Amino acid sequence: MTTVEEIKTAIIHLSEDESRELRRRYEELEAQQWDDQISSDIVAGRLDALADAAVHAFQTGKVTEL
């Protein structure tokens, strides 16, 4: 497996197009990881209290329209 230092060195030598492609792919990976974490948190019930608080705030008129 490649070390972080080797990866850092390789990144420095990328062309502009390759650098752009790397950023795009990394952003996609981060977005997928975020989606996976949110899904996991939802299934595990870790967001239930936040959802309940938001519904309660809405029902009691304690929200502001954006």
Give domain status of residue 31, yes or no: yes
State the Cα–Cα distance between residues 30 and 6, nearest whole angstrom: 21
State the Cα–Cα distance between residues 55 and 5, nearest whole angstrom: 48
Cα 44 off chain centre by:
18
Give domain status of residue 66, yes or no: no
- Which structural domain range is residue 33 located in? 4-59
The count of domains in the chain is 1
* 42-63 pLDDT tens trace: 999 999 999 999 999 999 999 9
Give domain status of residue 64, yes or no: no
Give domain status of residue 14, yes or no: yes
On the question of pLDDT at 1 being above 70, the answer is: no
Q: How confident is the model at residue 65 (pLDDT cuts 50, 70, 90)?
A: confident
Q: Tokens at residue 52, please?
A: 């309940």
Residue linked to tokens 């497996």? 1
